[in-house]
Structure 1
Amino acid sequence: MKLNAVIKAALFSLLPVSAVLAQEAPQYGAWVAGFGEYYKVDNDKPNSLDNFDDASGLGAELGFRFTPEWGARLEWSRLNFDSESGLNDRDGDRFGIDALHYFDQKQTYLFAGFKHQNLGENYRLVNFGLGRHWDLSQNWKLVTEAAAYYDFGQNFTDFGLKLGLAYTFGGNSASGGTPSNISSQLNEPAQTAADSDSDGVNDNQDRCANTPKGDKVDAFGCTLFDEKTVSSALDMLFAHDSHKIANPDSQQVKNFADFMQQYPDTTVTIEGHTSLVGTDAYNQALSERRAAAVKKLLVERYAISAERISTVGYGESRPLDRADNEAAHSANRRIHAQVSTTKKVKLTR
């Protein structure tokens, strides 16, 4: 409990007056992060044994975002410094505290703070830089930062680049105000915020207002959709040695034409076929006439654009039934067409 109180007191000490007076909610309350770091050492950095070369390391941080504009964090990292001679490489710890100022309530921020670095010798640094948390999911963020570290006492400046992964938690919708309000946000459960369209996402985070009731929504209150494949098929039979359409007003034809009108980006190929009676050459031409007759029907009677319809004749090469009887011959005298597309379907709760 004492350690927790010390941490909170340290973080509050970094908050400017404008943070205390902020009136809007943070996007999230706190985060923990791990990161890797490349550290560029100033050539003038003093070392009693050898000159330092560049360093790399790993670290962790714990941060709190008190308002949309202001936050603070504690940071620790373990750095491995190479020496120019290769004989006096050093490992050392750096730890400190930063205040963070966010732009336009987004996740890009400027930061500044104090660091203590122990490499056998102690360095006390003032640092400042620019960073951003990039959304990977609702709670996971990619962390990128660039920073400068200045030692006033020994007059040198180091630079660092960080890449890390943060997990955010504890977001709430209580408005910022006095320090006592901020303290209550850290120690008490968040109050229930307004949800005007009852979709489970608070108004201050809802990007899609007035979502229809019953819709399944994402973390920002917007309706979720799934893609569904829909299709329509057309099968027609012909009399022996004929390409005349027996029933051009059949419900099957109307349904097929309605589907193509409902989905104007679709195209279709009409396949013509014949029975096994007759010569290959004659049946090939007959199958092409059958496919062309159906195309003409769809274009002239149902106003489907001719550019959306292609035809092909397969003659007797693709029979449904190879038997030599009237039932097989009748089944093979046909056309077949199928069209399909995908459409967005709302997900419901």
Structure 2
Amino acid sequence: MSDGDEAASDEEHTDDDSAGEMEFGDQPSPLGVKVGSTRTVVAAGDADNPEVTQTLTCLATYDDALTGEEHVIYGEEAATEYPDRVRFMLRSGLPEDEETTGLAKRFFEEFAAANGLGADSVVVYAIPTIDNDAGLQRLSEIIEEGPVGERRVASYPESLCGAVPALGDGLDAIEDTFVAVNMGSTNLEACAYRRGEQLAPFSTGAVTGSEVDRRIANYVEEETQGRVNIDVQTAREYKETHADFDDYEPFSDIIQQPGGGTYEFTIEDAVMDAVDEFVDDAVNEVANIFMPDFANDYMKVYQQALDNPVVLTGGMACIPGIVGEFERRLTEEVGREVEATTADHPETAAARGAHRIAERLVDLGEY
């Protein structure tokens, strides 16, 4: 799947694919799925009030102590019990090789079985906008051979799916013209949409949520004068728990010292310094790389798009106050008034938006 002008791609499972293997009901279930580098999110049920399930995109295996049989655990349980060998198979945003593709397939099979996600479904996947044909092909393989979506599988850009809950109660985003900026763990993506069509898609791995986590870890070490070293998982937890542009407060934590005893420390600046730099870097990429290219190629559409709010999606958009900071700094950088917005709960917005699209496909009988 490429970053071309088409916003959607389908791989339909016809009656020939599964004839004689299973019986389906009159109407399939709609599912919205985002298999992300850090978290996998699924939205199901009623699109107006969906059931949202999420977990870490990781797994670990272990041998049964009695039988020697290999078992698989995934998500938070795997990360907590087996931190020494847990695998995050999509750390770069896409599967990198045959091994990680196989692990991702196994992860999603276990996740679907544990959460009762049925094969008799229409599934819309929210996928990243990344210029990596090989990685996208491997992701397509995971999707097409997955345990759900026997009626139909479709893929839409993650930023478009994430914009759907931000721009109304229905599918207004599919009929609108706007700019979306996806602030993910592994990439910063920017794209304009015109009635669902992608225009001027842009992606960079230089400004990411994962880089924020690494900076937090480094800044904590500097702030504590080398007395505290945290891993990126702890740094991510600090970011998700404490980062706040509206009302940040310093916080304390305790570590066990070598040789016994504990050391309590307080973090004043490390977290907010890292996320503040992220916003500056994101604004710079959007204002000085994405927007000039967009304006040069589609000047009239550019003007129309910026009359509407810029939609922020992805995990970093969850930080309180980041929308206002991005709006203020982008306005200053481009020299014109810019409005920004995001959905409630941006971390699950892509799956919820994909679910609305899936429900519309079911309602239209497009399966």
Q: With structure 1 as the length reference, what TM-score do the two structures score?
A: 0.23
Higher helix share: 2
Higher strand share: 1
Q: Which structure exhibits the higher relative contact order, with contacts defined as CA atoms closer than 8 Å and separated by 6 or more residues?
A: 2
